[in-house]
């Protein structure tokens, strides 16, 4: 799950940072993770799970590293409505 979320975060960078490089990075990373299927049957299930732990931890790092800063969150936060109460539209 962490890998899929980090891939989504990488693709999101294409739009927020306006550089297509991030899409290629996501594609390459996805391909690298999918190559682990080639090891299935050659190593034990436990070894495969431990091997997949590496990209999972790396993915958590990607999510943490690319999260918006406090300043960016304040700049993009919606302005509170008058009266401070939520009104459905």
Q: pLDDT at position 48, please? A: 87
How far apart CA 49 and CA 88 sit, in angstroms, is 46
Q: Does residue 45 have a pLDDT over 80?
A: yes
Indicate the domain borders of the chain.
7-67
Distance of alpha carbon 55 from alpha carbon 64, whole angstroms: 14
Q: What is the mean pLDDT of the chain?
A: 86
Q: How far apart are CA 74 and CA 65, in angstroms?
A: 18
Asked if the model's pLDDT at residue 88 lies above 60, the reply is yes
Residue 83 has pLDDT above 60, yes or no: no
In the prediction, which pLDDT does 81 show?
Answer: 64
């Amino acid at each position: 799950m962490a890998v899929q979320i980090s891939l989504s975060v990488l693709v999101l960078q294409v739009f927020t940072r306006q550089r297509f490089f991030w899409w290629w990075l996501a594609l390459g990373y996805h391909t690298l993770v999918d190559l682990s299927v080639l090891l299935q049957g050659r190593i034990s299930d436990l070894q495969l799970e431990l091997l997949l732990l590496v990209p999972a931890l790396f993915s958590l790092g990607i999510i943490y590293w690319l999260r918006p800063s406090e300043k960016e969150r304040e700049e993009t936060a919606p302005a509170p409505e008058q009266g401070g109460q939520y009104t459905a539209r």
